[in-house]
Structure 1
Amino acid sequence: MADGNRFFPALRLILAALVAGVLAGAVAVYVRESSSGNKAPAQVAAGGGKDDVACAAKTDRAKKIGAAATGQVAALLPADPPQSLKSLTFNGPDGKPTTIADHAGKTVLLNLWATWCAPCRAEMPALDALQKEMGSDAFQVVAVNVDAGDDAKPKKFLEDTGVKSLGYYRDATMALFNDVKTRGLALGLPVTMLIDGQGCLIAHMNGPAEWSGPDAKRLVEAALQPG
């Protein structure tokens, strides 16, 4: 059964995505790259900083955690090699800029989503449930909305769908998405990254998953294991 689920979310998630897409009037999942971004391609290509070197040494750990991604989260791929995402920037619940570095010491499941993206809308309740059950001083789901415009539409969506456990993180500039895309991690939305307490990318995936299920919980438990 795990093999059958390896690249596709549960049927319930697909149906929910289709319904959400109709309600949202969504006509496309993928977003277009703009000229803005947290880093220019040349900077990313240059890389090689001490943080990236330290993260690259975690290749074996990334493979080990990637092996724990089975069933409904099996599309999550180990970082090859792991890289530092400390500089990723977005606005926190207080509306002020924050970075992955500000979450030091905590494993983060970073998810980029938009209200016009049907699969994003479908998986938000599951991400909320994962945060409610497993959120702690050691683990947090950070779901960053990337809608253009003001906060009205994304906040209304979260309210209407009963999302209460997730903090409200936001980037209306597309800089965050473009940074992740430049790094070769994003094809479109949603995109999800598993980041360790040192800000190192351990695993990533494009597309939705059933984040409230037992497979996701086992993945988080594996990511929280020392070593």
Structure 2
Amino acid sequence: MAFLLAAAPLTPSLADGTAAKPGDFSPFDPPLPTPNEDFQNALGDKVTLADFKGQVVVLNFWASWCAPCVAEMPTLDALQADLAEAGLKVVAVSLDRDGIKKAAPFFRRTGVKNLKLYTDRMSDLFQELKGAALPTTYVLDRDGKVVSVYIGATDWSSVKVKAELRKYLDAKPAG
């Protein structure tokens, strides 16, 4: 499955027109509005990012065939366990075309315990966000605004990453 579209940039564009930098958090200034496209939970029900308003969301796009995605999944699982009480929600969305049939066995096989399963088989949400590479992770603040993007795999349990996320966890919602 190819995610690089001819008309799309290799990486999402920031407000000033520059491309997001792989391997680091790239802020959106001003933040982007909450994306509208829905995706599915493990039962096949529609979910939107508005459903998570009030929490800081780490929106991770992954696929079972993506080696860097596989490598970072345990740290995303640990991040959810570590910062859930602070108001963080890791929403890991599989882009596998077989949806839950592929994603559920992957979670079982890799020992994921703290994340719920979400799928976006047609990549609608990923495309709305102008995603182009896997893994790509967006951070949404408590108001649901997209405040930054991280392209590539990372260790989500690192002190540097947690410090970046705490900025949003410690901020009060605007509404």
Q: TM-score, normalised by structure 1?
A: 0.64
Match of 1:201 in 2: 146
For the pair 1:191 / 2:136, whether they are aligned, the reply is: yes
Amino acid paired to 1:140: K
CA displacement, residues 7-50 of structure 1 (integer Å, 9 cap, x when unaligned):
xxxxxxxxxxxxxxxxxxxxx9x62449xxxxxxxxxxxxxxxx
Match of 2:103 in 1: 154
> 1:187 touches 1:206 (CA, 8 Å); kept in 2?
no
User: Which ranges in structure 2 are unaligned for 5 or more consecutive residues?
Assistant: 7-14, 16-21
- Which position in structure 1 is the counterpart of 2:49? 100
* Pair 1:225-2:174 in alignment: no
Matched positions, count: 158
Unaligned residue ranges in structure 1 (runs of 5+) = 1-27, 35-55, 57-72
Q: Deviations over 1:107-154 (max 9, x none)?
A: 101000001111111100110010011113721110000100242222
How far off its partner does 1:86 sit?
A: 4.0
**Cα shift at 1:213:** 1.7
What is the letter of the counterpart of residue 102 of structure 1? D
d(CA) in 2 for partners of 1:205 and 1:217?
13
1:121 aligns with 2:65: no
CA displacement at 1:164 relative to structure 2: 0.8
State the SS of the aligned residue for 1:136. Answer: helix
Distance 1:203 1:82, change over 3 A: same
- The structure where helix makes up a greater share of residues is 1
Per the TM alignment, residue 193 of structure 1 is displaced from its structure 2 partner at its CA by: 0.5
What's 1:133 paired with? 82
Q: How does 1:1-227 map to 2 (within 5 A)?
A: 31-33=3-5, 75-136=24-85, 138-181=87-130, 186-226=131-171
TM-score of the aligned structures, taking structure 2 as reference length: 0.81
Larger Rg: 1
Give the percent of matched residue pairs that are identical in Structure 1 and Structure 2: 36
| 2: CA distance, partners of 1:113 / 1:100 | 17
